[in-house]
């Protein structure tokens, strides 16, 4: 039977090769996965032209996935440096990489990235439009914006961020409800500026059906961007954010009618006590579509440590239903991240994702921790390193400060609670000040 997209196949009762791979990775019955894809509650971003892809699922009942942002910019245009980051991100098992390139040899970088990456690839086509056409923002036409999406789809991109929810209606709500940090989404601010400069409707909203034509042809997953995501905890859960979310819910239903897979993007900066309610709102207003969050960053006062502020918010978000975490690095708000920043951001996001999976009772999540606790009880250092989320760092820390007695560490030495309890529980004598007899 012929099908156009993963969702189309799922609705027709067809189990695709990609569904089989994802079900095996998740330990899920493939028929259950097919039903979730048919309902739009799970997406499998898998562009027909991304031949190196090892597919992953994002959504209800699956492990929380993480995304790594990379790409060349005007100030940092070196493709080879970014490709080194790509390889490291792949080695660290990131499930997705977003190419946010905005200057220089963007097409070359994108094609090389797609060719080498088994991880799903995302882009924000509006970033690429100015360099692609060598035009100022106001001079780009609606048709040209869509042509850039078409080009990214042809190249094999698996999902695209499209800020279609910042339409005239949303813009009026934004104007009436003053914000401290206005519109902080880069793509969202560009679309808002284009609308204001040209006094026209958002081209992605006005020509949404044409956008869906492209997505359906290539099985390009639509990641509906949150132009009005809060850029400060002051602006969180305000009228602009919620109004746009309502529009995104309507656009989701229109996409599903065309069998186009949809992810919803979310905040942003947000106080801890608002996160759970925001996850519930998204799932309700957007009909259970997978939710993709940036953080949320839970305080605005920690530049240089925003991998931590975002991991706190990400863990809470994931535990309350977020499906996909966009990593944040220590360099957030300060500069383009370097390789070490990227590594720290990935590890922080993976910790947050796993913590959320434990709370959601995702299959196998607690078992990982059980195995680590067992290794600690046994003082089995090699097994601990094998199970660690960052084995390299764990091993290095121990090697930098080796204890006198290898069944302990330099924090406690022979006062180690695990060591001493093991001896007592086994009926053995305990010598702390002297050598064991």
pLDDT, residue 130, reads: 87
Selected residue with higher pLDDT from 433 and 246: 246
pLDDT, residue 104, reads: 87
Same domain, yes or no, for 321 and 403? no
For residue 220, give the nearest of 4, 372, 389, 2 by alpha carbon. 4
CATH of the domain at 109: 3.20.20.540
CA–CA separation, 414 and 429 (whole Å): 13
- pLDDT above 70 (res 436): no
The residue-averaged pLDDT of 368-393 equals: 97
Pairing, β 96-99 against β 262-266: unpaired
CA–CA separation, 161 and 166 (whole Å): 13
The residue-averaged pLDDT of 156-184 equals: 98
- Determine, yes or no, domain membership for 18: no
- Position 406 confidence tier, pLDDT thresholds 50, 70, 90: confident
Among 101-105, 125-129, 134-138, 166-170, the minimum mean pLDDT is found in 101-105
Residues 6 or more apart in contact with residue 222 via CB below 8 angstroms: 159, 160, 162, 211, 212, 215, 255, 260, 261, 262, 263
What are 341-361's pLDDT values in tens digits? 999 999 999 999 999 999 999
What are 276-334's pLDDT values in tens digits? 999 999 999 999 999 999 999 999 999 999 999 999 999 999 999 999 999 999 999 99
Domain boundary among 334, 359, 384: 359
- Determine, yes or no, domain membership for 309: yes
Annotated binding-site positions: 69, 98, 127, 163, 185-187, 226-229, 265, 269, 292, 333, 409, 412, 416
DSSP at 63: P
Residues 6 or more apart in contact with residue 437 via CB below 8 angstroms: 429, 431
Domain boundary among 326, 344, 359: 359
Residues 6 or more apart in contact with residue 293 via CB below 8 angstroms: 265, 266, 267, 268, 313, 314, 317, 322, 324, 325, 326
- Determine, yes or no, domain membership for 108: yes
Kindly report the length of the chain: 437
Mean of all residue pLDDT scores within the chain: 96
What are 74-127's pLDDT values in tens digits? 888 999 999 999 999 999 999 999 999 988 889 999 999 999 999 999 999 999
pLDDT, residue 435, reads: 75
Same domain, yes or no, for 147 and 180? yes
Please check whether residue 69 is in contact with residue 123, taking contact to mean a CB–CB distance below 8 angstroms: no
Annotated binding-site positions for [4Fe-4S] cluster: 409, 412, 416
pLDDT, residue 34, reads: 98
What are 32-42's pLDDT values in tens digits? 999 999 999 99
- Determine, yes or no, domain membership for 3: no
Same domain, yes or no, for 209 and 301? yes
Pairing, β 42-43 against β 58-59: antiparallel
**What are the DSSP calls for 103-141, one per residue?**
SSSHHHHHHHHHHH-SSEEEE-HHHHHHHHHT--GGG--
Annotated binding-site positions for substrate: 69, 98, 127, 163, 185-187, 226-229, 265, 292
CA–CA separation, 329 and 340 (whole Å): 9
Q: Phi-psi bin for 304: left (phi > 0), alpha (psi -120 to 50), beta?
A: left
Same domain, yes or no, for 129 and 198? yes
Same domain, yes or no, for 354 and 371? no
Annotated binding-site positions for Zn(2+): 269, 333
Same domain, yes or no, for 339 and 376? no
Same domain, yes or no, for 72 and 196? yes
CA–CA separation, 106 and 100 (whole Å): 9
- pLDDT above 60 (res 437): no
Identify the domain containing residue 412 by its residue range: 365-425
Same domain, yes or no, for 127 and 158? yes
pTM check: above 0.85? yes
Determine how many CB atoms are found less than 10 A away from the CB of residue 52.
12
- Determine, yes or no, domain membership for 58: no
Same domain, yes or no, for 391 and 264? no
Same domain, yes or no, for 78 and 100? yes
For residue 265, give the nearest of 295, 233, 235 by alpha carbon. 295
12, 59, 103, 163, 220 from 223: Cα distances, Å? 23, 13, 22, 9, 9
Same domain, yes or no, for 250 and 319? yes
- Determine, yes or no, domain membership for 412: yes
* Total tally of structural domains belonging to the chain: 2
- Determine, yes or no, domain membership for 235: yes
- Determine, yes or no, domain membership for 35: no
- Position 186 confidence tier, pLDDT thresholds 50, 70, 90: very high
- Position 270 confidence tier, pLDDT thresholds 50, 70, 90: very high
Domain boundary among 333, 359, 385: 359
Same domain, yes or no, for 370 and 273? no
């Amino acid at each position: 039977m012929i099908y156009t997209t993963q969702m189309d196949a799922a609705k027709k009762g067809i189990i695709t090769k990609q569904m089989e791979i994802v079900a095996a990775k998740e330990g899920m019955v493939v028929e259950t996965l097919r039903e979730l894809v048919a309902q739009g509650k799970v997406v499998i971003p898998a562009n027909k032209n991304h031949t190196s892809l090892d597919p992953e699922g994002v959504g209800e009942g699956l492990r929380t996935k993480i995304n790594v942002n990379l790409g060349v910019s005007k100030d940092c245009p070196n493709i080879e440096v970014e490709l080194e980051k790509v390889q490291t991100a792949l080695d660290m098992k990131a499930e997705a990489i977003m190419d946010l390139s905005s200057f220089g040899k963007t097409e070359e970088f994108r094609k090389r990235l797609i060719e080498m990456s088994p991880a799903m690839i995302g882009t924000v086509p509006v970033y690429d439009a100015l360099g692609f056409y060598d035009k100022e923002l106001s001079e780009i036409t609606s048709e040209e914006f869509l042509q850039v999406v078409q080009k990214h789809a042809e190249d094999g991109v698996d999902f695209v961020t499209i800020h279609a929810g910042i339409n005239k209606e949303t813009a009026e709500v934004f104007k009436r409800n003053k914000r401290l940090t206005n519109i902080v989404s880069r793509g969202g601010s560009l679309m808002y500026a284009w609308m204001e400069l040209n006094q026209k409707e958002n081209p992605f909203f006005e020509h949404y059906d044409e956008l869906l034509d492209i997505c359906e042809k290539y099985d390009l997953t639509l990641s509906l961007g949150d132009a009005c995501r809060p850029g400060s905890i002051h602006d969180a859960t305000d009228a602009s954010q919620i109004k746009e979310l309502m529009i995104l819910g309507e656009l989701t239903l229109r996409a599903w009618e065309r069998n186009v897979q949809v992810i919803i993007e979310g905040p942003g900066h947000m106080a801890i006590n608002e996160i759970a309610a925001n996850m519930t709102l998204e799932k309700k207003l957007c009909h259970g579509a997978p939710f993709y969050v940036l953080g949320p960053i839970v305080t605005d006062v920690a530049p240089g440590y925003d991998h931590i502020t975002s991991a706190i918010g990400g863990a809470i978000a994931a535990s309350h239903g977020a499906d996909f975490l966009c990593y944040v690095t220590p360099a957030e708000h300060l500069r383009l991240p370097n390789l070490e920043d990227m590594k720290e951001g990935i590890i922080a996001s993976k910790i947050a994702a796993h913590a959320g999976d434990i709370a959601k009772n995702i299959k196998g999540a607690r078992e990982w921790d059980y195995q680590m606790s067992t290794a600690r009880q046994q003082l089995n250092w090699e097994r601990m390193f094998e199970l660690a989320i960052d084995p390299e760092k764990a091993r290095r820390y121990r090697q930098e400060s080796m204890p006198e007695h290898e069944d302990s560490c330099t924090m406690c030495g022979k006062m180690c609670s695990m060591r001493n309890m093991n001896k007592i529980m086994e009926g053995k004598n305990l010598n702390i000040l002297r050598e064991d007899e």
